[in-house]
Amino acid sequence: MRSTIAFDSRLLLMACVAIAVTACGKKEEPAAPVAPAATTSTALEGQVDIIAWPGYIERGATDKNYDWVTKFETDTGCKVNVKIAGTSDEMVSLMTQGGYDLVTASGDASLRLIRGGTVQPIDPTRVAGYDALDARLKDAPWHVVDGKHYGVPYQWGPNVLIYNTQVFKVAPTSWSVVFEPQKYPDGKASKGRVQAYDGPIYIADAALYLMSKKPDLGIKSPYELNAAQYNAALELLRQQHPLIQRYWHDANVQVQDFTNEGIVASGTWPFQVNTLLANKQPVASTVPAEGATGWADTTMLHAQAKHPNCAYKWLEWSITPKVQGDVAAWFGSVPVVPAACENNALLGAQGCKTNGFDNFDKIHFWRTPEAKCASHGDACIPYSRWATDYVAIMGGR
């Protein structure tokens, strides 16, 4: 349904380890603020280059009803060029290389981009409609640092558990169905029928499960882990490894695996669920008793953006109620503008409620793990370690 670029996940993650070490292991304190790029003219530059998650920027190629690019290009003369990325590490890598104006960064990438000086503060007064944003997101710590706004919120939602309804006649109530070896209700073993996310931030999913499974560990946040808590999460992931058919990062490939490869349980995004349902596949999704990790994505401006005026036009366009509602309907996410929940034919009257508008406080939103954290002072395991250790786990070590 969405066009993504296939690549070998092992090679991608190995490349991203170096970037992660630079962005997270070396710098734990904020970099000197980067001043917004000087603009000598307000003239629009004719294009804007954006790195985005699959399904986030649609021009009606799959379904003509879902097109929030064409009118923008017609109204502004700014051609939208999109580079699809399947993981936050890929987004950080691409932004670090340069040549892009904007990125729809999740919380596990945004602080790395800020700390590394890769993105610049934006001026909210240049973004009409900013005041209409959901109050829960305006000053969120994954994009507001030292009082400076490093982007404009875009969409948010949970990482849900997707399951095959022919195998699970009743919705699973625990993430144990993907973490623990077992027989499923159809009498067959779970081995080879499970997937896990191909990104170091998935360690947080293991930590979230352990918050309920082993409360004696004392985990307060799945992104703030001391050595003992972190090692427990790694051990759980090593236990999970023999069950895994594929570590996924390409949403289209995961859809194909649920359709053709016998996969019956995995963490996923609402988009894959919607795609599979549209293709009449026997799946459903749930948020288990332990809760869920999730993403609150922010469109961030590169420190050396070549097309800043077109970029600001896109930032403004991206939070108009119609665009917000259409994106939410397509992706299965939640708008960052509450007004988008009303009078949107694609989203429907109950669309925001269905997609989880009232579950904000139940989601543990992706954050960049840093050595200094509220839970353990200077004793938390930083993202640089998460990146290297997850590569090893995926390799069966």
Q: What is the pLDDT of residues 312-350, one digit of tens each?
A: 999 999 999 999 999 999 999 999 999 999 999 999 999
| Residue 142 counted as domain residue | yes
Q: Within this chain, do residues 16 and 79 fall inside the same structural domain, yes or no?
A: yes
Q: Within this chain, do residues 279 and 353 fall inside the same structural domain, yes or no?
A: no
* pLDDT for the residue 326: 98
The mean pLDDT of 195-215, rounded to a whole number, is 97
* pLDDT for the residue 397: 85
Q: Within this chain, do residues 258 and 130 fall inside the same structural domain, yes or no?
A: no
Domain assignment of residue 115, given as a range: 9-157+294-365
Q: How far is CA 172 from CA 12, 97, 264, 320, in A?
A: 32, 42, 11, 37
Q: Within this chain, do residues 217 and 194 fall inside the same structural domain, yes or no?
A: yes
Closest CA to 312 of 105, 83, 130: 130
* pLDDT for the residue 272: 94
Got the DSSP string for 2-63? -------HHHHHHHHHHHHIIIIIS--SPPPPPPPPP-S-----SEEEEEE-TTSS-BSSS-
Q: Within this chain, do residues 189 and 331 fall inside the same structural domain, yes or no?
A: no
Of all residues in the chain, the percent with pLDDT exceeding 90 is 87
| Residue 3 counted as domain residue | no
| Residue 135 counted as domain residue | yes
Tell me the C-alpha distance between 369 and 109, whole Å.
10
Give the distance, in angstroms, between the CA of residue 286 and the centroid of all CA atoms in the same chain. Answer: 18
Give the distance, in angstroms, between the CA of residue 238 and the centroid of all CA atoms in the same chain. Answer: 23
Q: How many domains does the chain have?
A: 2
Report the greatest alpha carbon distance in the chain.
Answer: 68
Sequence-separated (6 or more) residues with CB below 8 Å from residue 364: 204, 208, 221, 222, 223, 291, 292, 293, 294
Helix (H, G, I), strand (E, B) or coil at 183: strand
Q: Within this chain, do residues 147 and 25 fall inside the same structural domain, yes or no?
A: yes
Q: What is the CA radius of gyration of the chain?
A: 20
* pLDDT for the residue 40: 61
Tell me the C-alpha distance between 66 and 84, whole Å.
17
* pLDDT for the residue 344: 97
Structure token pair of residue 245: 């058919």
